[in-house]
Structure 1
Amino acid sequence: MQAVKDKLQDMTALRKAKAEAKAQERAEKENAKEMMNNNPADKDIAKARMDIAHEVRRAKEAEAAMALHVAKAGERAEREIAKHSPYPDAGGMNMHGSNMHGSNMHGSNMHGTNMDGTNMHDTNMHDTNMHGTNMDGSNMHGTNMDGTNMHGTNMDASNMDGTNMHGVNMHGAPHGSHTRK
C-alpha cells in the first residue's frame, strides 16, 4: 500500500514540475509575442526567446524526471544493501535500519551509494546516532563526527579493520584518542 502511495506522490511531483515549466514557457512566449507586436523589428529576438523558453521547459522536465529516477535508484540500492548485508543488525548501514533516516545521509546525498567500503570524504554526520553500527571497511577520512552518539559501537581495532579515520573529529578530541590499539 505504501508503494502505491509513494508512486502517486512521485507522479504528482513530476506532473507539478512539468506544469510549472509549461506555465513559465507560456508566460515567456506571451512576453515575446507582445514584444513582437510592439516592435516588428524585434521579431527575430522574440522568436529566439520563444525557442529558449521551449528548451528551458524541456530541461526542467528532464531535471524533474532525473531527480525522480535518482531517488528510485537510491531506494533500490538501499534495499539491495540491506538484503545482501553481512551485518544483519546494522542492516548494511541501511538508512531505514538505523537512526540516520532523517539526517543528511538519506535522500539525494546518498543515492546509489554502496555503504560497504564507501569513501565518505567530508561527510557531515553531526549528531547522527550510530549505536551498534559496525563500520568495518568504511573509509571515513576527513569526516566530521562531532556530536555523534556512538555508544555501543566497538571502536576497537578488531571492528574497525581497514577503516581509515584520519582527520576524524570526535567530540573535539585529538586525532586517534577515541580508538584503542
Structure 2
Amino acid sequence: MQAVKDKLQDMTALRKAKAEAKAQEKAEKENAREMMNNNPADKDIAKARMDIAHEVRRAKEAEAAMALHVAKAGERAEREIAKHSPYPDAGGVNMHGSNMHGSNMDGTNMHGSNMHGTNMHGKNMHGSNMHGSNMHGTNMHGTNMDGTNMHGTNMDGTNMHGVNMHGAPHDSHTRK
C-alpha cells in the first residue's frame, strides 16, 4: 500500500513540475507575442524568446524526471546494501526459543523483536541496537554487549550471568 502511495506522490510531484514549467513557457510566449505586436521589427527576437522558453520548459521537465530517477535509484541502492549487509536488521523478527550459542551479532538492529526464552550463550553484540525488544526469560550467559543500546527493552525474568556491557552509551536504558 505504501508503495502505491509513494508512486502516486512521485507522479503528482512530476506533474506539478511539468505544469509549472508549462505555465512559465506560456507566460514567456505571451510576452514574446506582445513584443511582436508592439514592434514588428522585434519579430526575430520574439521567436528566439519563444524557442528558448520551450527549451527551458523541456529542461525543467527533464530535471524533475531525473530528480525522481535519482531518488528511486538511491532507494534501490539502500535496499541492496541492506540485503547484503554483514549487519542484518532484525526489526520485528520473532526469535522465541532460539539457540544462539557463540553467534556474532555486532551492529545488529533488533527494534521490536521478540526473543522470549532465547539462549544467547557466548554471544557478541557490540554496538547493537535493541530498542523496544522483548526478551522475557532469555538466558544470556557470557554474552558481550559492549556499547549496545537497549532503549525500552523488556527483559523480565532474563538471566544475564557473566554478561559484559561495558561502555554502553549514556542514554541506554533497560526496563526490568
Report the TM-score range of the alignment, normalised by the length of the smaller protein: 0.5 to 0.7
Determine helix, strand or coil for the equivalent of 2:92: helix
1: CA distance, partners of 2:44 / 2:123:
49
How has the CA–CA distance of structure 1 residues 148 and 83 changed in structure 2, closer, same or farther, with 3 Å as cutoff? closer
1:110-165 alpha-carbon deviations (Å, 9 max, x no partner): 99999999999999999999999999999999999999999999xxxxx9999999
Q: 1:99 touches 1:128 (CA, 8 Å); kept in 2? A: no
Determine helix, strand or coil for the equivalent of 2:20: helix
Q: Which runs of 4+ in 1 moved over 2 A?
A: 89-153, 159-181
Determine helix, strand or coil for the equivalent of 2:19: helix
Which structure has the larger Rg? 2
The percentage of counterpart residues that share the same residue type is: 91
2: CA distance, partners of 1:44 / 1:120:
80
With normalisation by structure 2, the TM-score equals 0.53
1:88 deviates by 1.2
How has the CA–CA distance of structure 1 residues 42 and 64 changed in structure 2, closer, same or farther, with 3 Å as cutoff? same
1:66-112 alpha-carbon deviations (Å, 9 max, x no partner): 00000000000000110110111499999999999999999999999
How has the CA–CA distance of structure 1 residues 4 and 175 changed in structure 2, closer, same or farther, with 3 Å as cutoff? closer
**Gap regions ≥5 residues in structure 1:** 154-158
Paired positions, count? 176
With normalisation by structure 1, the TM-score equals 0.51
Determine helix, strand or coil for the equivalent of 1:77: helix
In terms of fraction of residues, the more helix-rich structure is 1
**Gap regions ≥5 residues in structure 2:** none
Determine helix, strand or coil for the equivalent of 2:96: helix
1:169 deviates by 29
